[in-house]
Amino acid sequence: MGRRAALVIGALASAVGFTLVGFATSMPLLWLSVIPGSLLAHNFTIAKALVADLAPPEERAGIMGKLGLAAGLGFMVGPLVNPFVTTRMQACMFATGVNLFSVLTIFQLPAKAATAAHGEEKKVAPKGLGAVFTTVWEAIKEVFVLAVAAPASARVILVLRFGLSMGFHLFYTVMQMLLKDRFHFQPADYSNYFAFIGLTYAFSQIVSRGIINRFGKDQTMLLVICLFSLLGGRLLSAITTNTVVFYSAIAFTIFALGIVNTSVNTTITRIASDSNVGGLMGVLDTSEKLAGIVGPAIGGALYAYYHFAPVIVVCAGYVALALIVYVGFPRYVIPAIDNKEKDSAEVKAKTE
């Protein structure tokens, strides 16, 4: 159906979900409200795929950074709205309105964003309720095919993304207890906490373009440095009892994470062809969702066994990921980027 149609569907699904939350008077309706947005929560993934459609390789790091900046600003603006929102209905209607407004911005995208296949014949969408389930099943199979049959370069990125997501969800178990028991956070403290995260992430996206472009197509050392920075930030935030040190460690962690995310997203657009970059983005998004299911369960079990166990596992995971990047990027990812650049040059020469 094309990127633009998928973005509109995702925005409308989120709007419906927030509306249902506002009107929910029972637990079943509250659970039902989760389904639309969760089932179609793909807009940020599609937005990243659009970067490959609409921007040349040398500009993608900057545009990926702007997407991250928008996300960071959202984390900042959300808590700032709290003083003007006093009821659940008001909060849900505000969120619904924001999603509906985003639909208007989607239609400002260039015409290329509306095409279904990039350089290929447009596919005819199947019709009927049965065709919906068929389409979903075909999409699920495509995700698994891309994950299993993907080239080694894509699998390196997939392992990195899954590992980062697992680290986040494992550590989040500890973080919740730190905020509640050690620092005695109240609702206003949580609001300030998320605003601080948004501000730090936004700043990381502002400077990410310059940092990433300085390393060029070989992001190996940048990723290794960021992974060890994540290790240090997570460890320090887990052991400190000082609020200033805690926020400093959080800032260090979020900044490194912002650089890693933008670097990984930019690398994906450099190794994937125009026709499968969306699918690869979807596979990576699926790996993050899988980590969101598995990570908290493992983190909770580890915390129940020994409260510092999740921190140890996460730090060991960052070391393992750094080793994978150090070996896998030069061996698989960089050659894939070189091959794509060579193929693009040959196609351009033929068309000229």
Q: Is 293 part of any domain?
A: yes
Q: Which of 201, 16, 32 is nearest to 103 (CA)?
A: 16
Half-sphere exposure of 256 (CA within 13 A, CB side): 23
Number of structural domains (the chain) is: 1
Confidence of residue 128 (pLDDT cuts 50, 70, 90): low
Task: Tell me what pLDDT residue 120 has.
Answer: 43
Q: φ and ψ at 262, to 5 degrees? A: -65, -40
Residue 121 confidence class, pLDDT cut points 50, 70, 90: very low
Residue 123 included in any domain:
no
Per-residue pLDDT of 282-296, as tens digits, reads 777 777 878 888 888
Q: Give pLDDT tens digits for 41-77.
A: 778 778 877 877 787 777 877 787 788 788 778 877 7
Tokens, residue 138: 């075909």
Within a domain: 121: no
Q: What is the CATH number of the domain that holds 283?
A: 1.20.1250.20
Integer Cα distance of 171 and 62 in angstroms: 29
Name the pLDDT band for 275 (thresholds 50, 70, 90).
Answer: low
Amino acid at 148: V
Residue 153 domain-assigned (yes or no)? yes
Q: Would the pLDDT of 160 be above 90?
A: yes
Residue 122 included in any domain = no
Neighbours of 223 (CB within 10 A): 24
Asked whether residue 258 is domain-assigned, the answer is: yes
Residue range(s) defining the domain that contains residue 219: 3-112+137-351
The answer to the question of residue 199 being in a domain is: yes
Structure tokens at 162: 């899954």
Q: Which amino acid type is present at position 72? A: G
The answer to whether residue 119 scores a pLDDT higher than 50 is no
The reply to whether 214 falls in a domain is yes
Q: Is 225's pLDDT higher than 90? A: yes
